[in-house]
Structure 1
Amino acid sequence: MPTLHVLSDSPFTDASLSSCLRLLGDADGLLLCGDAVYALQADTEQLQALELIPDTIQLYALEEDVEARSIDTPARAKVIGYPEFVRLSMQFAKVNSWL
């Protein structure tokens, strides 16, 4: 069942990102919001791990959080706003918020 995984905690203080990456299915999506967008920082192990996920898994980052933290997003991540987040939530069969 295709799942949208939503991460909001910093990958530097929480293990949710690494746990989530192990469970991603080929048809899943991954949305980074809040402090989780720090995983997109250049030259980090977190970004390297994200760049290794299969191309079939869509990677998204919430625009408001990326801008608030002045993160330069890599080409692999699609920056979206809240309306697109709502559409994604309806597009996937399931939404899993990692707390």
Structure 2
Amino acid sequence: MATLHVLSHSPFSDSRLSSCLRLLGANDALLLSGDAVYALQAATAQRQVLELMPDSIALFALSEDLQARGLSVPMRVQPVDYPAFVELCTRFDKVNSWL
């Protein structure tokens, strides 16, 4: 059963990102939103871990949040807008928000 994992908290303030990464299945996806997009900052351990994830795990980020924080989009990441976020929620069997 494929799951879309949604993270919105900064990876520098708690351990949600690392906990989520340990639970990702081969066909799951990860969507970074809000302050979670800071994991994509260049030259950080968090970005390196995300870039080394298996290709079978899709990695998305809300484009509005990337733009608001002045972050560029790494090649590994697929930027999505809010309508695409809604579509992603329907594509996966489950959605797990890491509150």
For Structure 1 versus Structure 2, the TM-score category normalised by the shorter chain is over 0.9
Alignment of 1:1-99 (within 5 A): 1-99=1-99
Q: Which amino acid aligns with 1:73?
A: V
SS in 2 for 1:4: strand
TM-score, normalising length: structure 1? 0.99
TM-score, normalising length: structure 2? 0.99
- Distance of 2:14 and 2:90 partners within structure 1: 27
Percent of aligned pairs with the same residue? Answer: 64
Aligned pairs, number: 99
How far the C-alpha of 1:73 sits from its partner, in A, is 1.4
How far the C-alpha of 1:44 sits from its partner, in A, is 0.1
Q: Which runs of 4+ in 1 moved over 2 A?
A: none
In structure 1, runs of 5+ residues without a counterpart are none
